[in-house]
Amino acid sequence: MPRVTRPIYLDHNATTPCDPAVVRAMLPYFSEDFGNAASRTHAFGFRADAAVERARAQVAALVGADPREIVFTSGATEANNLALLGAARAQHRASGGKRDHVVSCRTEHRAVLDPCLALEREGFRVTLLGVDADGLVDPDGLRAALEPRTALVSIMHANNEIGVIQPIAQLSRIAAEAGVAFHCDAAQSAGALEVDVTRLGVEFLSLSAHKLYGPKGIGALVVRRRSSRARIEPILHGGGHERGLRSGTLPVPLCVGFGAAAELAAGARVADFARHERLRARLLARLESSLPNLALNGHPSARLPGNLNLSFLGVEGEALLAALPELALSVGSACTSAKREPSHVLRALGAGEARSLSALRFGIGRGNDEAQIDAAAELVIAQVRRLRALSPAWDDLRRADGRT
């Protein structure tokens, strides 16, 4: 067993450490240039406003947007709520109540699914599309779900649990042909993949800083200016900040940190992609060569480079986590990990309860290297073997496979 003096962090889909360069960029705006960006009557406010606008441009450049299209929020959850609630209500109002239908997907993050439930309570109808066994949305299924009363489609770019990348450009074209606005949660993909709002063809795009080595507590919603379908109204009121779409004093240090992280991500993306993909392949190969009855959850190639979601059949995921204090892993989304129930994402793939409850998510990031991957693999292999030896479920699997 490898000796690990400090836990190995393999949960980068949940959050990433703030890059030291990002921290350095933020520090002056806590105590030196501490002005309110809305105070445009003195030098402190001018400097704060200039810093926010520089950050807005940096975030916009990461996703090919116009800086005027960036609306800062407290994170991707708020951005998703603003997009879902704000756009659906705006479309409903503009149509005289005729557009009252929203289309999303069963594998979405709760930050999209819960606003959909809120819209249902307001009288909207919601259609949740299924996915295939690899986690992909069927474009023909989206086409069939659209109707004249559809106000909005919301499909995430890359899944937070299984890393599957949806064909957003193709899906958004189908929505556009029907005259329907399209929202995309890109919290997981921005910085990891090439994300360009024009190529994706979306009206709204949600972003999060802490998924790309920036600070927690700051995100953004891209609201396209060139699309007539990008109608939206605020869900927060109280000052008209962010061009009236998101009231509230901007956290200047966090905006600066988001901008710095976005600029760093843009420069490191290609190298990060290749490195994370190589480390993921190394980890998977080590585990598959030593452990039978593994199941890969999600598409084998159309997935985030650092994401690996595996079911260790015959072992409960929570028991395996408890046996691995040397590793920082998760059984699924950090936002729902407190609930002991099969992942709604894995259920949508058709995975049974046993496979869903035996899943672990590995999230590889910039801080990981080959030595850590090899150590993690050895630790997992040892504990899976130990737990399987104690598991009646594993005995049943072995008998079913014809092994004694």
Residue 193 shares a structural domain with residue 58: yes
119, burial (CB in 10 Å: exposed 0-12, middle 13-18, buried 19+): buried
- Within 10 angstroms of residue 322's Cβ, the number of other Cβ atoms is 11
Same domain, 251 and 304: no
194: three-class secondary structure by DSSP: coil
Give the ranges where 75-138 is alpha helix by DSSP (H). Answer: 76-81, 87-94, 110-121
Could you tell me the CA-to-CA distances from 61 to 26, 157, 189 in Å, in that order? Answer: 19, 18, 15
Q: Is residue 3 part of a domain?
A: no
Chain centroid to Cα 10, Å, comes to 16
Same domain, 216 and 282: no
Provide the CATH number for the domain around residue 100.
Answer: 3.40.640.10
pLDDT 10s digit of each residue in the chain, 404 long? Answer: 677 778 999 999 999 999 999 999 999 999 999 998 888 899 888 999 999 999 999 999 999 999 999 999 999 999 999 999 999 999 999 999 999 999 999 999 999 999 999 999 999 999 999 999 999 999 999 999 999 999 999 999 999 999 999 999 999 999 999 999 999 999 999 999 999 999 999 999 999 999 999 999 999 999 999 888 999 999 899 887 888 789 898 999 999 999 999 999 999 999 999 999 999 999 999 999 999 999 999 999 999 999 999 999 999 999 999 999 999 999 865 555 455 678 999 999 999 999 999 999 999 999 999 999 999 999 999 999 999 998 877 766 766 665 54
Tell whether 52 and 176 lie within a shared domain: yes
Residues 6+ apart with CB under 8 A from 139: 167, 170, 171, 174
Q: Are 227 and 299 within one domain?
A: no
Do 315 and 284 reside in the same domain of the chain? yes
Q: How many CB atoms neighbour CB 170 within 10 A?
A: 12
- What DSSP character marks residue 196? -
Q: Which domain holds residue 319?
A: 8-16+269-400
Same domain? For 157 and 229 the reply is yes
Q: Is residue 1 one of the residues assigned to a domain?
A: no
Three-state SS for 87? Answer: helix
How many beta carbons lie within 10 A of that of residue 235, not counting itself?
17
Choosing from 264, 291, 320, the residue where a domain stops is 264
- The CATH number given to whatever domain includes residue 396 is 3.90.1150.10
Number of folded domains that form the chain: 2
Please say whether the beta carbons of 83 and 232 come within 8 A.
yes
Q: Catalytic one among 18, 184, 255, 335?
A: 335
* 248 in Cβ contact with 238 (< 8 Å): yes
Same domain for 56 and 73? yes
Give the pLDDT of residue 337. Answer: 47
Task: Determine the Cα–Cα distance for residues 221 and 56; give it in Å rounded to an integer.
Answer: 11
Residue 236 burial (10 A CB sphere; 0-12, 13-18, 19+): middle
Question: How far apart (Å, rounded) are the C-alpha atoms in residues 282 and 285?
Answer: 5
Q: Are residues 42 and 165 in the same domain?
A: yes
2 lies in some domain: no
Place of tokens 């986590």: 321
Q: Quick one: 259 and 274 in the same domain?
A: no
Cβ neighbours of residue 40 closer than 8 Å, sequence gap 6 or more? 46, 49
Q: What's the sign of the alpha-carbon dihedral 357, 118, 178, 62?
A: negative
Residue 57 lies in a domain: yes
* Cα 22 off chain centre by: 21
196 in any annotated domain:
yes
- Last residue of one domain, picked from the residues 264, 293, 310: 264
Query: Is residue 237 in a domain?
Result: yes
Distance CA(201)–CA(207), nearest Å, equals: 16
Task: Output Rg (C-alpha) for the chain, integer angstroms.
Answer: 22
In a domain, 127, yes or no: yes
**Domain stops at, among 264, 283, 306:** 264
Question: What DSSP string describes 126-173?
Answer: EEEE---TTSPPPHHHHHHH--TTEEEEE--SB-TTT-BBP-HHHHHH
Measure the CA–CA gap between 208 and 248, rounded to whole angstroms.
18
Please check whether residue 188 is in contact with residue 155, taking contact to mean a CB–CB distance below 8 angstroms: no
Encode pLDDT of 203-253 as tens digits: 999 999 999 999 999 999 999 998 889 999 998 998 878 887 898 989 999
- Does residue 252 fall inside a structural domain? yes
Q: At 128, list the tokens.
A: 């949740």
Same domain flag for 217 and 319: no
The 3-state DSSP class for residue 330 equals strand
If asked whether residues 279 and 295 sit together in one domain, one would say yes
335 as an active site residue: the answer is: yes
